[in-house]
Structure 1
Amino acid sequence: MAMTLRLSAEEDRALALLARAQGSSKREAAVRAIVAAAARTLDDAAVVQLARESVREYTAAEERLR
């Protein structure tokens, strides 16, 4: 699916630097950045969910011990 991405001059320079560092096109650098951000977000969400479940389990165990 096609889309237009409007960047400020600073954002375009940052993307160009990223592409150059990766040895890729700006398009590929943008795609990689999007995929990496999504992966980090999903991983963070999984960690948060696990922490919430653990807190509930420890709270229940603590209440049983009282």
Structure 2
Amino acid sequence: MTLRLDADETDALRRRAQAEGTSMQDVARRAVAAYIRTHESDDALRLVIEQQLARFAGAVEWLGRWQD
């Protein structure tokens, strides 16, 4: 895999790596891992919501028509 960054992104990544005393590759790898962890939980939540909406579709529809 090749990661292409523009000059500003490369400079920011280089500064972050230097500040942490690590490589640019390590900073990028940790950023990707954090992104994946965050979005995997979003996917799991979305799946549960979709399943439960299907399960309770009639009740949700009824509540949508309910008025005081």
- Return the TM-score normalized by structure 2: 0.67
Gaps of 5+ in 1: none
Equivalent residue number for residue 26 of structure 1:
24
CA RMSD of aligned residues (A): 2.3
Equivalent residue number for residue 9 of structure 2:
11
Distance 1:22 1:54 in 2: 44
What is the aligned length? 61
Equivalent residue number for residue 40 of structure 1:
38
Residues 7-59 of structure 1, C-alpha deviations (whole Å, 9 max, x = no match): 21111122124324544221100000111111122111111001101111222
- Return the TM-score normalized by structure 1: 0.69
2:56 is paired with a residue of what secondary structure? helix
Gaps of 5+ in 2: 63-68
